Chain A
Amino acid sequence: MEYSELIFKIIFVIAVFAVSLLIAMYSTYAERKIAAFMQDRIGPDRAGPFGILQPLADGVKMFMKEEIIPSHADKALFILGPSLMMLTACMTGVVIPWGNSLLINGREYILQITDVNIGILYIFAVVSIGVYGIMIGGWASNNKYSLLGAIRASSQMISYELAMGMAIIALVMMTGTLSLREIVLQQHGAHWNVFYQPLGFLIFLVCAFAETNRTPFDLPECETELVGGYHTEYSSMKLGFYLFAEYINMFISSAVIATLYFGGFNMPFVSGLGLSHNTLAILGVVFFFAKIFFFIFLFMWVRWTIPRFRYDQLMNLGWKVMIPLSIVNVLLTGLVLLWRHGLFHF
């Protein structure tokens, strides 16, 4: 790798990191505003114009709070929990293709930190490690409610990861690659995967809600039953990390959904305009973020509309509906592929 490329990568890594944090920060603000608007209120409006400094105020508040580690808690694990959560949340952004590529001085710089050829698998692996953040935190708190929340989180994630994986398998069968960049490039123009995999998209979307612990699947932190769920014993910035990680996860999930099913940085109707490569790339990034913001909005919209599932309903939905559906989806995709390749003779 040459110097220029190395420097570009370093800048890009920092930029992606900063942008994820910034968006997660302002997601908390958006969440509160959207919640307020849907309930005919106006939400936070005191810190700065329209309350846009609210996330900063919240952050300062989190830092200033007293740091409590319960005496009966396992110290090392207690700290490891939120750190792991935050680490995995930030790690997933690495393989997302944020844009096409920039041509600078005749060299091509890909707008993606690294184009691993097993991108989807990488995301799955990292997200699965994220469960440990919740489990370790809940276990280390040495508190019944935390432990129950952690157990719920892990069983929920395991159940929904299966269906999610199956939805991805159908997609991969179609695209024939695991590299996210390849998948996006295949969806050029408006050939978005959602049109070919509508059922798979629905399954993936529902599972994404479950994976990020958002309503209607927010049982791990179900306040009405479990006090605060897995983070009951947490305070100060460690609690902040848990809450913040949820928002980063939401951002990344939105990015993954947009990448896999909604064509990533592709946009319809612009290839004919004759714009230069760089302009197109930048437009693509903007368009990609518009899609991401839409999905973040969707996450919040759903959260403030439907109530939480009961635990048995959650398991029923996961095992008796989602998994059979995803298997059917895989079978259908297989049949269609075979038919397309002319391997069927009726």
Chain B
Amino acid sequence: MQSLTNRSKVVVNKKMSFMEKLYLPEIAKGMMITLKHLFKKKVTIKYPEQKRPVAPVWRGWHVLKRDELGRENCTACGLCAVACPAEAITMTAAERKPGEENLYREEKYASVYEINMLRCIFCGLCEEACPKEAIFLTDRNVPVDLLRDDFIFGKDKLVEGIEPEKRIDVSVRARAHRQIES
């Protein structure tokens, strides 16, 4: 078998030579190796301050999109919840009342929409299942928290803001999807 790195060594069960049996020279050799590492460049990335660069189609914290008029796209069809392999999505549907047309695009909308971020495996199947281009995964990381309950993200953390500057750009992922589908 071809090895992946050039560092692999064939193990042989040979008898130790006298020098090896003395331990100390071998220990000294080992200590030299660790000493070298003492001055090597460190690979640590100090996370909250430094971030590892991610791909433009990175799958992170979901967003529920609004359309150009600021209305929520989601129609609470439940396809995302069915598609979700981790069963992370739950929702409650409600009917749009007269006068709420500027809030919701369709006649039915999700009054409660929750994703359990501890269950989610960020596979992106919800996004693929959605017929309304309502849910997208974005390149934002889910922030750390202390309580399990706080990882159940409701609409307050999922729906994007109405104002233009609060909109979240998902064009790259959306384009990728259209390419796959066509």
Instruction: Tell me the bound Cα distance from A41 to B34 in angstroms.
Output: 13
| Contact partners of A173 in chain B: CB under 8 A | none
In whole Å, how far is B37's beta carbon from the nearest beta carbon of chain A? Answer: 5
Interface core residue of B33, B44, B46 (most chain A CB under 10 Å): B44
B-chain residues with CB within 8 Å of residue A39 when the two chains form the complex: 37
Bound-complex Cα distance A302 to B41 (A): 21
Q: Are A42 and B44 in contact (CB under 8 A)?
A: yes
Q: Check if B43 is an interface residue, CB within 8 A of chain A.
A: yes
Map CB proximity to A onto B60-91 as digits: 1 under 8 Å, 0 otherwise: 00000000000000000000000000000000
Let me know if A40 and B43 touch, CB within 8 A.
yes
**Cβ B44 vs Cβ A305 within 8 A:** no
Assess whether B35 is interfacial by the CB under 8 Å rule.
Answer: yes
Q: A301-B31, A305-B27, A306-B27 are in contact. Are A38 and B43 (CB under 8 A)?
A: no
Contact with B along A28-46 (1 / 0, CB 8 A): 0000001001111110010
Bound: A38/B39 CA distance, A? 8
B51 at the interface (CB under 8 A from A): no
Contact with A along B22-33 (1 / 0, CB 8 A): 001001001101
In the docked arrangement, what's the CA distance between A50 and B122, Å?
35
Residues of chain B within 8 A of A306, CB atoms compared: 27, 30
Q: Does A304 contact B (CB under 8 A)?
A: yes
B34 touches A40 (CB 8 A): no
Contact of B42 among A34, A37, A305 (CB under 8 A): A37
Known: A305-B33, A305-B34. A40 touches B42 (CB 8 A): yes
Inter-chain contact B27/A34, CB cutoff 8 Å: no
On whether the beta carbons of A37 and B37 are closer than 8 Å, the reply is yes
A199 to B42, CA, bound (A): 38
Tell me the smallest distance from the CB of A75 to a CB of chain B, in Å.
Answer: 35
6 contacts between A and B (CB under 8 A): A39-B37, A302-B27, A302-B31, A305-B30, A305-B34, A306-B27
| Chain B residues near A (Cβ < 8 Å) | 24, 27, 30-31, 33-35, 37-38, 40-44, 46
